[in-house]
């Protein structure tokens, strides 16, 4: 692991003309989402993080829910859970800084045990990952011995290790159907499981885990937005409750939603998901009007530029997964990657 460095002097975090010049192209991308006065605060961090990335041979992977100054300012790769897992496995960098939540960093470590995987704040958790343990999975297996276990990546390494295969919101249907069985145990997101059940003939046995962000949306809310803009195109994440998904024109992963907007350029769009999605997608689609219903993911928002800088300076917080658990969890994640990116769910 590269050695740690001392903190930069306060002067090196000033918004100097050199920093302004070096970051001007990045500001152009986020101008609509980040006011100029705020950029003066972010830019020195971005500049210093870029230097440290080179010194450390590090890459930054950012989930679609990261704020624009992180998403466009410092990340080398941006995407949904599946994209981040694939890129984590592909990169030649020695160090991965995962700007997302803990299960994403753990997945990167599972796939690349030889790399240093850092998460800028260890408290960046996930309500779905907390809803289930490895022992719960073993119990489900005892109850339904004929059904293989498909586990959403929003889980701990422990839970993945007890599973046959993982999935994300972008390949869930494809993964379920790849098993060739009449029924599967699908853990832990009840609403994603229910959505998958509408897309396949395979019987889905679910668990009562929920995303604390998406479960708060309501169908009344969506109908209200449609009244304000009758041509509104509604895109929703499959972690939303079924009655919300019924109101949507498209259901898909975070990257699926971004792709939809890029390709179809709807006049008015609402993304029923976390707040930063609309900011990030709007920055690349200036002709699309975004109605912005959103619920904030407090875990994703624990990641900030100062914490990313500190993470690279001190090489903290390194994510570790116990060897035997990692080996079993890797089998489930790699099996998912072999199935590949799907279209539904
Ligand atoms: P995606 O895989 O669609 O990016 O979803 C991850 C997530 O945590 C959504 O809440
Ligand atoms: Fe977990 Fe929901 Fe946050 Fe995604 S949005 S990380 S599922 S709590």
CATH classification at residue 224? 3.40.50.10800
SS (H, E, C) 243-278: HHHCCCCEECCHHHHHHHHHHHCCCEEEEEEEHHHH
pLDDT in tens, 277-297: 999 999 999 999 999 988 999
Lowest mean pLDDT among 87-91, 203-207, 310-314: 87-91
What integer is the mean pLDDT of 323-328? 98
Residue 228 banded pLDDT, cuts 50, 70, 90: confident
Query: Is there a domain that residue 336 lies in?
Result: no
**Distance (Å, whole) CA 270 – CA 232:** 7
The more confident residue out of 179 and 340 is 179
What integer is the mean pLDDT of 240-266? 98
Confidence at residue 82, expressed as pLDDT on a 0 to 100 scale = 87
Instruction: Looking at the structure, tell me whether residues 150 and 69 fall in a common domain.
Output: no
Å from CA of 4 to ligand 1 middle:
32
Residue 6 banded pLDDT, cuts 50, 70, 90: low
Locate the ligand 1 atom nearest the alpha carbon of residue 128 and give its number: 8
- Which one of 192, 211, 230 terminates a domain? 211
**Distance (Å, whole) CA 25 – CA 281:** 17
Ligand 2: residue of 126, 170, 193, 277 to mutate (most ligand atoms within 8 A of CB) is 126
Query: Is there a domain that residue 3 lies in?
Result: no
Q: Which residues form the domain of 76?
A: 10-126+300-314
Confidence at residue 186, expressed as pLDDT on a 0 to 100 scale = 98
Residue 302 banded pLDDT, cuts 50, 70, 90: very high
Regarding the beta carbon of 254 and ligand 1, being less than 6 Å apart is answered yes
Confidence at residue 66, expressed as pLDDT on a 0 to 100 scale = 98
Instruction: Looking at the structure, tell me whether residues 269 and 219 fall in a common domain.
Output: yes
Confidence at residue 1, expressed as pLDDT on a 0 to 100 scale = 47
Query: Is there a domain that residue 271 lies in?
Result: yes
Instruction: Looking at the structure, tell me whether residues 33 and 101 fall in a common domain.
Output: yes
Query: Is there a domain that residue 86 lies in?
Result: yes
**Distance (Å, whole) CA 158 – CA 162:** 7
**Distance (Å, whole) CA 124 – CA 111:** 20
Instruction: Looking at the structure, tell me whether residues 121 and 142 fall in a common domain.
Output: no
**Distance (Å, whole) CA 240 – CA 211:** 8
Query: Is there a domain that residue 342 lies in?
Result: no
Instruction: Looking at the structure, tell me whether residues 99 and 182 fall in a common domain.
Output: no
**Distance (Å, whole) CA 268 – CA 185:** 38
Instruction: Looking at the structure, tell me whether residues 19 and 106 fall in a common domain.
Output: yes
Residue 87 · residue 77 · CB < 8 Å: yes
Q: What is the DSSP string of 284-305?
A: H-TTSEEE--EE--TTGGG--H
Instruction: Looking at the structure, tell me whether residues 75 and 179 fall in a common domain.
Output: no
Query: Is there a domain that residue 320 lies in?
Result: no
**Distance (Å, whole) CA 297 – CA 257:** 18
**Distance (Å, whole) CA 249 – CA 25:** 35
Confidence at residue 4, expressed as pLDDT on a 0 to 100 scale = 56
Confidence at residue 341, expressed as pLDDT on a 0 to 100 scale = 47
Q: Is the pLDDT of residue 3 over 70?
A: no
Q: Is the pLDDT of residue 10 over 80?
A: no
pLDDT in tens, 57-111: 999 999 999 999 999 999 999 999 989 989 999 999 999 999 999 999 999 999 9
**Can you give the pTM of this predicted structure?**
0.94
pLDDT in tens, 116-149: 999 999 999 999 999 999 999 999 999 999 999 9
Regarding the beta carbon of 199 and ligand 1, being less than 6 Å apart is answered no
Instruction: Looking at the structure, tell me whether residues 153 and 46 fall in a common domain.
Output: no
Query: Is there a domain that residue 116 lies in?
Result: yes
Q: Is the pLDDT of residue 2 over 60?
A: no
Confidence at residue 5, expressed as pLDDT on a 0 to 100 scale = 56
Residue 32 banded pLDDT, cuts 50, 70, 90: confident
Using the Cα atoms of residue 306, residue 75, residue 173 and residue 219 in order, give the sign of their dihedral. Answer: positive
Number of domains in the chain: 3
Confidence at residue 344, expressed as pLDDT on a 0 to 100 scale = 38
- Which one of 164, 183, 211 terminates a domain? 211
Confidence at residue 9, expressed as pLDDT on a 0 to 100 scale = 61
Ligand 2 — pocket residues by CB below 6 A?
A: 101, 126-128, 154, 211-213, 239, 274, 297, 299-300
Regarding the beta carbon of 168 and ligand 1, being less than 6 Å apart is answered yes
């Amino acid at each position: 692991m590269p050695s740690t460095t001392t903190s930069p002097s306060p002067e090196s975090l000033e918004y100097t003309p050199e920093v302004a010049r070096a970051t001007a192209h990045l500001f152009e991308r986020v101008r609509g989402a980040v006011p100029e006065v705020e950029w003066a605060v972010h830019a020195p961090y971005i500049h210093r993080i870029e230097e440290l990335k080179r010194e450390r041979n590090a890459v930054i992977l950012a989930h679609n829910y990261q704020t624009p100054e992180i998403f466009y300012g410092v990340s080398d790769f941006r995407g949904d859970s599946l994209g981040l897992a694939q890129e984590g496995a592909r990169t030649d960098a020695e160090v991965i800084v995962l700007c997302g939540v803990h299960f994403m960093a753990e997945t990167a470590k599972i796939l690349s045990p030889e790399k240093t995987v850092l998460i800028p704040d260890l408290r960046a958790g996930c309500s779905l990952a907390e809803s289930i343990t490895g022992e719960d999975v073993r119990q489900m297996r005892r109850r339904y011995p004929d059904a293989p276990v498909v586990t959403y990546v929003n889980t701990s390494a422990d839970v993945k290790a007890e599973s046959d295969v993982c999935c994300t919101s972008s390949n869930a249907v494809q993964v379920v159907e790849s098993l060739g069985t009449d029924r599967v145990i699908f853990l832990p997101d009840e609403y994603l499981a229910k959505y998958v059940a509408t897309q396949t003939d395979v019987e889905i046995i679910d668990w009562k885990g929920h995303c604390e962000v998406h479960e708060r949306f309501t169908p009344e809310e969506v109908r209200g937005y449609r009244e304000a803009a009758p041509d509104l195109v509604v895109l929703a994440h499959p972690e939303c409750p079924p009655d919300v998904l019924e109101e949507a024109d498209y259901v898909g992963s975070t990257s699926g939603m971004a792709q939809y907007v890029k390709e179809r350029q709807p006049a008015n769009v609402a993304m029923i998901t976390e707040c930063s999605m609309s900011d990030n997608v709007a920055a690349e689609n200036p002709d699309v009007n975004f109605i912005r219903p959103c619920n904030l993911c407090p875990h994703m928002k624990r990641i900030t530029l100062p914490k990313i800088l500190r993470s690279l300076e001190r090489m903290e917080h390194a994510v570790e997964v116990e060897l035997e658990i990692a080996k079993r969890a890797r089998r489930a994640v790699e099996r998912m990657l072999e199935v590949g990116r799907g279209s539904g769910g």
